[in-house]
Amino acid sequence: MRHEKRPILVFDPRGFVDVTIARLAPRKTSLEGLRLGILDNSKWNANKLLRGASVSLGKDIKFAAINYYVKESFSKDAAPRLIEQIARENDIALTAIGDCGSCCSSCVRDTIALESLGIPSVVIVTAEFIRETELTRQALGMPDLDPVVIDHPVSSITQEEVDVRVRQIKEKAQRIWTADAENEGAPQVRTQMPAPDGLN
């Protein structure tokens, strides 16, 4: 019996994502005298991390004020009114914690919302969720937003382990608030990006 060899057509379902690449908020030349807004996503130990980081940062930086906010659910974006309030009452922002799928993406979305309102912002995620953070940043058009990456896990750690992560936050957050961004001051650009390969 004769079998004919026929070509097989394989389609790549990923395609392209049509996004607008948005610029980061202008970075600060100094942190002295600024108002720091802290957004707690209400996950276990987020409070300890954020309050520990604010105390540690306050030892070296004389903030004009440190304002604390808590959103209703770690798996949802902060309410637009809360984001607007934080942007109105602060000069820089810090939010945590992204240590699972839904809380990671919502933390990144909150950070991008604040950046879009002109507030240099830092999102804290754990090392296990770097890829998820990258995909969210790309999909929302702010790939240059750098997160602070700390050790995983967060929800079940001792106070000593919290202190280690606080030191990681203190060192990296200051660099992000003051770093020169490559696209700072650049206009928004509409472009097509290859769709992500997935969460590998």
Task: Locate 139 and state its tokens.
Answer: 């999909």
Pairing of strands 92-98, 121-126: parallel
Q: Give yes or no for a contact between 132 and 87, defined as CB atoms under 8 angstroms apart.
A: no
- Report in angstroms the alpha-carbon separations of 186 from 96, 163, 182: 28, 38, 9
Q: What's residue 143's pLDDT? A: 93
Residue type, 176: I
Residue type, 195: A
Q: What's residue 44's pLDDT? A: 84
Alpha helices in 67-180 (DSSP H): 80-89, 101-116, 130-139, 159-178
In a domain, 86, yes or no: yes
Q: Give yes or no for a contact between 117 and 144, defined as CB atoms under 8 angstroms apart.
A: no
Q: What is the mean pLDDT of each run of 10 residues along the chain (200 residues)?
A: 72 69 94 98 91 96 98 93 98 90 89 97 93 90 94 88 94 91 47 52
In a domain, 7, yes or no: no
Q: What's residue 187's pLDDT? A: 47
- Domain holding 22, by residue range, is 17-71+81-194
Q: What's residue 15's pLDDT? A: 62
Q: What's residue 150's pLDDT? A: 93
Which CATH number goes with the domain that contains 150? 3.40.50.10350
Q: What's residue 126's pLDDT? A: 92
Q: What's residue 182's pLDDT? A: 43
Task: Locate 97 and state its tokens.
Answer: 């914690």
In a domain, 10, yes or no: no
In a domain, 76, yes or no: no
In a domain, 123, yes or no: yes
Pairing of strands 189-194, 16-21: antiparallel
Q: What is the pTM of this model?
A: 0.83
In a domain, 62, yes or no: yes
| Number of domains into which the chain is organized | 1
In a domain, 6, yes or no: no
- Residue count of the chain: 200
Whether the ω angle into residue 147 lies within 30 degrees of 0, i.e. cis, is no
